[in-house]
Structure formats: C-alpha cells, structure tokens
Amino acid sequence: RTAVGCLLELAFKVAAGELKNGFAIIRPPGHHAEESTAMGFCFFNSVAISAKLLQQRLSVGRIL
C-alpha cells in the first residue's frame, strides 16, 4: 500500500505540473500482479493503478 501511495503521489504531482518529472524507486513494483491476483511479492500493480486513476480523475488520455 505504501508503494502504491508513493507512486500515486508522484504521478498526480507530475500530472498537475507541480513537478517536471519523477522517478519512483518502490517495492513491490507490481509487475507480477495480475488484475485480480497477487503474485510473488507483488500485491498491487502500482503502475496500472496509477494509470487508471490518472485517467479517471484527471481525464488523462495517454500514459507512457
């Protein structure tokens, strides 16, 4: 939860223009997590959660 929260904080600050860019060094990275299943040490797919919330809350269309 802390990793997801840190990435969300960073993503929203960059999207809002408070920061020019950012780089999150967090654990777990989420690359093993499925949409509805935790795998390995990844309980949440941090990147997918951040992307979805940026799309929903800030109407961001494209995310790299």
Residue-wise pLDDT tens digits, 14-32: 999 999 999 998 876 667 7
Q: Which of the residues in the chain have pLDDT under 50?
A: none
DSSP strands (E only) in 1-64: none
Which pLDDT belongs to residue 28? 65
32 is catalytic: yes
pTM for the whole structure: 0.76
Residues linked to residue 39 through DSSP beta bridges, in sequence order:
42
Tokens standing for residue 26: 């967090």
Catalytic residue among 12, 15, 26, 32: 32
Which pLDDT belongs to residue 10? 96
Structural domain harbouring 43: 1-63
- Which amino acid appears at position 12 of this protein? F
Residues linked to residue 42 through DSSP beta bridges, in sequence order:
39
- Domain total of the chain: 1
> Closest Cα to residue 4, out of 24, 34, 32?
24
Which pLDDT belongs to residue 1? 84
